[in-house]
């Protein structure tokens, strides 16, 4: 049977994953400061994105997501292993994205998993490392070009 501390840890980590989705969808880049550790490494390379620290990830996200007129990140079914003040998790992601060209909108679907390492800090649980595992991209318009992470 789970202890109250284990239930509390799982609840806090789940809220952290949800907070990330809201921050991204609402382009609230400052909210990421309360989601990641100061020394976090964020790796979006599996989806053609950048890898780096939190400041680099924010710069990349601003550029990469400006081309979307709509998006929703649905994250759930987290498989979580907690070991004291650290944890590892894998969370499924379903992410419809809306792009527009010449006044025409297109919706494509991105399915992936977040692979996270969490750390308990004095301010609560934070993500210390995040990478992605891309499962599928469906209905991607032929004209769509992702932002070059090196620009």
Whole-structure pTM value: 0.96
Would you place residue 76 in the very low, low, confident or very high pLDDT band (cuts 50, 70, 90)?
very high
Q: Over the stretch 121-144, which tens digit does the pLDDT of each residue have?
A: 999 999 999 999 999 999 999 999
Which residue, 144, 113, 145, 106, is CA-closest to 130? 113
The token pair that represents 22 in the structure block = 């809201």
Paired with 106 in beta bridges are 99
Q: What Rg value do the Cα atoms of the chain yield, rounded?
A: 16
Q: Alpha-carbon distance 98 to 120, whole Å?
A: 35
Looking at residue 151, its pLDDT comes to: 82
């Amino acid at each position: 049977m789970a202890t109250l501390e284990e239930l509390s840890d799982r609840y806090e980590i789940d809220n952290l994953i949800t907070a990330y989705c809201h921050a991204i969808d609402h382009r609230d880049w400052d909210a990421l400061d309360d989601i990641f550790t100061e020394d976090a490494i964020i790796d979006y390379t599996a989806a053609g994105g950048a890898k780096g620290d939190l400041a680099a990830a924010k710069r990349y996200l601003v550029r990469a997501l400006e081309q979307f007129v709509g998006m929703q990140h649905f994250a759930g079914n987290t498989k979580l292993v907690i070991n004291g003040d650290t944890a590892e998790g894998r969370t499924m992601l379903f992410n419809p994205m809306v792009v527009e060209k010449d006044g025409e909108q297109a919706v494509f679907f991105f399915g992936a998993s977040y692979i996270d390492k969490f750390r308990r800090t004095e301010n609560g649980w934070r993500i210390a490392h995040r990478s992605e595992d891309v499962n599928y991209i469906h209905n991607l318009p032929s004209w769509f070009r992702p932002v070059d992470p090196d620009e």
